[in-house]
Structure formats: C-alpha cells, structure tokens
Structure 1
Amino acid sequence: MPINAQLNWTPRDLDIFLLLAENGSFRRTATQAHLSQSAVSGVIARLEEALATRLFDRTTRSVHLTVAGQVFVEQAKLLSAQTLEAVQRVQQITQVQSGKVSIAALPSLAATVVPRVMARFAAQYPHIALQLHDTLSGPAFDLVRSGTVDLALTAANPDYADLDYTPLSADGFVLLMPLGHPLAKTQSPLSWLAVAELTHISMPLPASVRQYANTAFMTHGMAFQPRYEVEHIATIHAMVKAGLGVAALPELAAAFVQQGGVATRRLKGPDIQRPLGVVTRRNRSLSPAAQEILRMLRQETTSVLP
C-alpha cells in the first residue's frame, strides 16, 4: 500500500505516539497527555493512515508495536529531537543569543565608531559572532546587494537605488595639511577655491571622499586633479605629514589620523556635507541581532557627529 502523499501529522502527534510506544496503554497515554482515550486513538489512526501501515497490534489488554512501529519509533525520536533543536535555535536567534552579524563600513567609520559599538555589543551578547569589512563606499553597497553583509555604514550613493538607505548623520570636510604649512597659521575656515591650486592627495574614484571633493571644486568651474591617489587614510596622513601635499577629507576621517605633524581647518564655500547612513537590502528583515547592533550604531554615530 503506498504512503499517503500528505504526511499530515504534527510534532504533538509524534510525542503521543512515542508515549504510547513507551507505556503500551491508551489509558495511561491519555492521562499523561491530558487527552481522552478517543483523542489518542485518533492520533494513532491518523499516523497509520499517513504511513499506510499499522504501527500497533492491539488486544483488549495490551498494545504492542508492530515491526513497522518499531522502525518508526527510532525515526520519530529523531524527528522530535530535530524539531526541538529547530525551535531552540530560532528562539536563540530571536532572543539575540546566537547567530552572526556582518557589517561593512567606510574605513574612517571602521576605525572609529564601529569598533566601539562592536566592543559594547560583544560584551552584552558574547555568543553572537561579529564580522567587519572595512571598505570603500561602492564595494560596501555591493556587499549588501550580494548578501555578504547584513548592513553597511557608508555614504549615500544614488547608483544603488535598489537598496534601502537610511540617513544617520552628516560629515563636513576639512583640509589636512602639515603643521608647518602657511595655511595652518590661521584658525579660520578655508574656502575650496583658496586651496584649489595646492598639491592634493586624495582617494581614487569611486571613493565617496573623491566624489565630494570633485563636486566642491566643480562649483567653482574647476576639475579636481590630485597629484597623488591612494586608497587608505593612514597613507594619506603619512604623505601629508611628510609634506607631499594636502588632503580634503571628511571630518571624521581626518580626526582618525590627526595625531602628530598635521593640522586641520574647516573647508567652506561650498559647505560640503557627506551624508552617512545605513544600507540594507530592500524587503529583507534584519535579524534581531543585526537590529540591535544597528541601534547601537545609530546611538554612537549621533554622539560623534551632529
């Protein structure tokens, strides 16, 4: 006889079957399961119908497993254990007790805001694995799009309209220069036009730093042509400190490298603001763990930037 194509049973049915197999009595099974004997009989009949075989031999005095019933006992135990494990794992995820959160972030954020948030999160949720990708804006969006990371903390980019972007804050621009530079003598903001002819060090496109610098100089009808292009902020800092040039950087990035030998002055005219926000996949829910670290990122970013 073929097995019913619709195995219409529940985990509760399996528990009742195992209970009956263990004690061999409909009456005791009904008592322990808080059911009527007819309800227990209905459960067993439903299982036997689904499997197209008898699971128990019944007499007026006893109930015994058939050969098929003995086989099914072992499988039912495995199914029950797997169901319990599945429920526990889901509960752990929803209660932020286990899982993994992957984040992409701009280098300036990955070196300042994000580590502090990760430390707080790890202290509160030690069983959640954290992964950080420090990368430029374009690759950060690509990592979200591919599902490699849960979210990205980066600058806005209209080229990725298929992803959700939620603004968090904005980052103004400053000029990073050697301490001995003539412009370091003033405390007043500098205009983009006033620094246009200086030797510049910047990041290559499509880095958001470069895009916003291009925009600032274009407002004055000038093309931004940096003498040097490097990908890492620490390298820019070292080159500026060595006197190779100046660099227009977001305030947060400059703060990260503003140690010794360099100075910063705010850039104005135009007042360029690099919006910073969170990128997620559209129509995809974040796990509770990812939602929690996002809450912490919002809090930390707001405390650092206006």
Structure 2
Amino acid sequence: MSINWNAHELDVFLALAETLSFRRTAEQVHLSQPAVSGLISRLEESLGVRLFDRTTRSVQLTGPGQVFVEQARLLRQQSDEAVRAVRNVAELQVGQVVLAALPSLAATVVPAAFARFALQFPAVRLQVVDTLSGPAFDLVRAGQVEFALTAANPAYADLDYTPLASDGFVLLIPVSHPLASGSKPLRWVEVATLTHISMPLPSSVRQYADAALLEHRVRFSPRYEVEHLATINAMVAAGLGVAALPELAAAVAPQAGLVQRRLVDPDIPRPIGLVTRRGRSLSPASAAMVEFLRQEVQRLVPHRNTVPATRPNARKSPPSRVNPRQP
C-alpha cells in the first residue's frame, strides 16, 4: 500500500466529511468539483478502501471513512502543533541559550546582555558557563554549549571563530599615584619600571604585556603574580602597584580609588569573538543573543572597531592561538 498524502488533501477530505457535499466542499476549499472528486479518489486508492458512498442524491461516509476522519483530525492537530512549536522557536517564544564565556567577559558583557535579552524574550531560558578558553572549546565540541564567547581563536579544524570586537589595554592605577591625574594615553615604555601586578605565564594577559614591552627591548618583570582579576584589582587599590589589563578584564570586581589610563605604543587589541562548531548554525535564540553580546561589547569599548585589528609585529608577539588559560 502506497501512502502519499499531504495536509491540504487531508483538509479537503475533512471538509467533505463535514459537508457531505462536493459542491459545498469545492466552494469551501476553493477548488473545482472535479478536482475535489479526483483528490478523494486518490486518497481512496492510496488507502485501498472506499471512504465515501456516492449517489446522485447523497454522499455518505463509509465505516473506514469514519475511522479515517478521526485519524485525519489527529494528524492535522499534530501537524498544527509541530508548526506552532517551530514558529515559537523561530519567534523566540520558547527556547534556550547556553553559552560559555571567559570570566572577564562573563562578569562584564554577559550580565548586561542577558538582562536586555530577558526583558525582550522572557520565555527563553538563559545559562552561562564561565570558564577558560580551553574548557570552553571542549564544551562547544561536546554540544554542551551552543557557542563560546572568548578572546582566543581556537584555530582548530572542527571549530569556527567569528570576531565580534576587541578591547585594548589599560593601566590600572591607584588614585593616589602621580600618573592617576593625567588623561592622555600612556606609552608602555613609560610604565615599564613601575611596580606591576600581573598574571603568571602562560596567561594571554601576560603574553600580551611581554610582547608590548619587548617592542621597546624591555623585559617585563612584574613584582606580584596572581591568578584572579579580583585579586589584582584589590592589590592595586591597596597601593601595591599598577596592572596592565584588557579593558573588560580591568572592569571585573572594580574597586574604589582606581583610575584607568589607556596604554599605547604599541596599541594592542585583544580580539573578542564567537566560537562555534564548524558546519552548525546557531538556533534563533542564540543568534539573537549574539547580537545582544555584540552590542554590549561595543557599548563597553566604543572606541574599538567591531572587527579586531591585527596584532602589531613584535619581536616576540603572543602566539596566533592564545593559550587556553586566558582570563
């Protein structure tokens, strides 16, 4: 038995089952009477049974026809529910967004983007996993998150990287420091001899700082090395030194009594981008979330281009694939 019908044919059958009139059914479904008759005949042929008894005076459902009415109604209901479910996802009436983000981005970009998204699409569930780049790549691969917001290009064959924006480096300074009162950007070489608080190698923040000072043939030697951005902020606020950090990283756990000044010569942009599985498109909710994240990054670092500039040529620049311990 060859079963081959579509939703329109079921609708015509159900209309005839209700009206029991080929003329009224043809008017209702906007077809000619011969077209309705031919459609019903094809249904009967595919099922191998007569659905209607026809005479010149009347049309009546047969026993199999009555059974098929119930099943056709169920099929149309399921079809309508499937269409509604897909439309709800497409229109962000339901769904979820699960993403991974670096701690510095999860603490700055993500909360504001989530808040704006939740106001517009309250039925969509949101979840963020704050982790370093290496674990974030693994989560994307495993399908546990749909995408990752990172500052590192994975450069792996199974992952795609789409740049969204970039943030530059600033010097975090205690308000009592002599450099705190200036407004112009500082040159890296000008601050090389200050007491620095930084992250240990092989963190990318440290790699960027090393590369910037090597352009001036200066070896970067921080006095203090700590793992967490909140600790760096607190130590700078306590007057223990200064810290060269990407703008968004410097905004994590802000402390009173701190001043930021941009670092230039070289002006080193830290790329911020989207990591996804190659060949996999984002869900409508995740695609919408990406735009919210992009807007939030641009709001936080408005002087930066939406596409990161290339890193300056340094004698010892950070590797093209940033170490996965990036904060």
Quickly name the TM-score band, shorter chain normalised. 0.7 to 0.9
Question: Pairwise CA RMSD of aligned residues?
Answer: 3.5
Check conservation: 1:192, 1:267, Cα contact below 8 A. no
Check conservation: 1:202, 1:226, Cα contact below 8 A. no
How big is the shift at 1:104?
Answer: 2.6
Query: Percent identity among equivalent residues?
Result: 58
Distance 1:258 1:192 in 2: 26
Check conservation: 1:199, 1:245, Cα contact below 8 A. yes
Distance 1:194 1:97 in 2: 52
Q: Deviations over 1:52-94 (max 9, x none)?
A: 2222333443333333323222221111011112222323333
> Please, which moves more after superposition, 290-299 or 263-272?
263-272
Q: Which of 101, 106, 109 is residue 110 of structure 1 equivalent to?
A: 106
Aligned residues: 300
- Residue 145 (structure 2) pairs with residue 149 (structure 1): yes
Partner of 1:95: 91
Q: Which of 33, 54, 69 is residue 65 of structure 2 equivalent to?
A: 69
Distance 1:293 1:45 in 2: 50
Q: Deviations over 1:231-283 (max 9, x none)?
A: x4224434555677764421221123332255555445644321112333333
Q: Which amino acid aligns with 2:152?
A: A
Which structure has more helix as a fraction of its residues? 1
Q: 1:204 to 1:83 in 2, by over 3 A?
A: farther
Distance 2:221 2:9 in 1: 72
Q: Which of 299, 302, 307 is residue 303 of structure 1 equivalent to?
A: 299
> Please, which moves more after superposition, 108-117 or 278-287?
278-287
Q: How does 1:127-138 map to 2 (within 5 A)?
A: 127-138=123-134
Q: Which runs of 5+ in 2 are unaligned?
A: 305-327
- Residue 115 (structure 2) pairs with residue 119 (structure 1): yes
Distance 2:45 2:222 in 1: 78
Q: Which runs of 5+ in 1 are unaligned?
A: none
Check conservation: 2:137, 2:154, Cα contact below 8 A. no
> Please, which moves more after superposition, 260-269 or 123-132?
260-269
Distance 2:115 2:214 in 1: 41
Partner of 1:191: 188
Distance 1:226 1:147 in 2: 41
Q: Which amino acid aligns with 2:255?
A: Q
Partner of 2:37: 41
Partner of 1:54: 50
